[in-house]
Amino acid sequence: MKQVARNLTDGSDGFLKGCRYLLYDRASLFSEDFRMILKAAGVESVRLPVRSPNLNAFAERFVRSVKESCLDRMVLIGESSLHRATAQFVLHYHQERNHQGLDNKIIRPELSPLPSTGPIRCRKLLGGMLNYYYREAA
């Protein structure tokens, strides 16, 4: 785990480059040495409270959505394709998808109010895996 911490905080291509915090659970893998390496790199380690299974439920649901809707359906070649795919998915997730909490309305519709006439267009992301249908103004 010390090597993992060094890889995470690597100055040139570490995953935690530019990050201030790392949230982690109470697994014994995250030893004092692990936390010291993070601290030396300027990353504050925040340990989750005991018996808090739903503490990070929103993040876990987002990770599940990314995996099921995007990453499990793709063959990724290298880190750059992973970054490109997740960036496009995040754009779709935060702006173009229907949200059940909003009565299945679009989170941020491009046009408001939505026109009821005009040709229907489709914007495809991730090679057609994610689709966003909209009407152009007449």
Same domain for 100 and 63? yes
Question: In this structure, are strands 21-24 and 98-99 parallel, antiparallel, or unpaired?
Answer: unpaired
Give the residue numbers spanning the domain of 30.
2-47
- Those residues with Cβ within 8 angstroms of residue 97's Cβ, 6 or more apart along the chain or in another chain: 106, 107
Counts of helices then strands in the chain (DSSP H, E)? 4, 6
Same domain for 40 and 71? no
Domains in the chain, number:
2
Same domain for 26 and 69? no
Same domain for 62 and 96? yes
Same domain for 25 and 63? no
Does the residue 111 lie in any domain? Answer: yes
Same domain for 69 and 106? yes
Same domain for 32 and 68? no
Exposure b/e, 6-15, CB count within 10 A at least 16 = b: eebbeeeebe
Other Cβ atoms closer than 10 A to 31? 13
The model's pTM is: 0.53
Per-residue pLDDT tens digits of the chain, which is 138 residues long: 888 888 888 877 777 878 888 888 888 888 899 889 889 888 898 888 887 777 778 788 888 888 888 888 888 888 888 888 888 888 878 777 666 666 666 666 555 556 677 788 887 877 777 777 777 765
Same domain for 67 and 130? yes
Does the residue 36 lie in any domain? Answer: yes
Same domain for 68 and 120? yes
